[in-house]
Amino acid sequence: MLPSKPLDLLNRGEKIKLRLWTYGFWRQGTVLDLFAGEGNLSMLYAPGCERLICVEEDAEVFGKLRMNMGGFGNAILVNRDNMGFLAELDESDLTFVDFDAYGCPNRQLERFFEKQPVERALMVNVTDGTLLNLNRLATIDLEEHYLINLFPKGYLSRSDFNSKRGLRRILPWLQRTFINLLAAKHGFNTHFLYHAMNREANVTYYGFIAYPEARTSLWATGMTPTIRFRKDEESLIKTLRKIVKK
């Protein structure tokens, strides 16, 4: 598994702008901030949600997170690694989740959707630091991390693929394909909202909405709060209309 740690200060401004753009799409219930760090985003999330779960593994960083989040009564702080936390995840009211990893976040995404059925509209924001990690790693096993192997038909040469430039060109497609494979496996739909890269061109950000697939999900059986989902959908449409008018 690729190592993970909080991103540096240079990346935070770009990341925060994209996160907050999606945060206002609808009223937030429970928000999950994975790799919360010192709480830079958590402090912005807390006032706009009913409950905020912040997960941070590093003990020293967690101490700063606790100090920064002390004034928010709706915040639950968890000093644990993401994969261990996600293995026991059981939250029925999640509306927003932030995956912020130094390396490739895809194993965390896999674990999340294995444990969390998509029963209502869910906003997902992801930071993918795979390119940043290639400063220290010569190659990356795409089939292991992105569930797809590009080589059998020879569309890309190995030398091109192993370079940062080659991977940078295909990474957005790989990320979308990976999410679509998870959606097909776990029976939900997706709608991508943005795909961006930081100024140093070594970290990518993307966001999408996961929502119930009517034929296979519990939403279709009437066992979930359909009215609440429709309100979320209506709120999303209104927000998109405002953006188009601008």
Average pLDDT over residues 170-188: 89
pLDDT tens by residue, 211-228: 997 654 444 444 443 333
Q: What one-character-per-residue DSSP string does 153-197 give? A: TTSS-HHHHHSHHHHHHHHHHHHHHHHHHHHHHHTEEEEEEEEEE
Backbone phi, then psi, for 52, in 5-degree steps?
A: -125, 125
Read off the pTM: 0.76
Find residue 122's DSSP bridge partners.
210
Domain boundaries, the chain: 9-245
Q: Is the pLDDT of residue 120 over 70?
A: yes
**What is the fold of 9-245?**
Rossmann fold (3.40.50)
What integer pLDDT is reported at residue 1 of this predicted model? 35
Average pLDDT over residues 140-158: 55
Query: Strands 75-78 and 94-100, how do they pair?
Result: unpaired
pLDDT tens by residue, 7-39: 444 456 778 888 999 999 999 999 999 999 899
Rounded Cα distance, 62 and 79, in Å: 6
pLDDT tens by residue, 128-140: 887 776 666 555 6
Positive or negative torsion for Cα 110, 112, 115, 121? negative
What integer pLDDT is reported at residue 137 of this predicted model? 55
What integer pLDDT is reported at residue 148 of this predicted model? 63
Q: Which residue has the higher pLDDT, 147 or 43?
A: 43
What's the token pair of residue 229?
């989902």
Average pLDDT over residues 107-121: 92
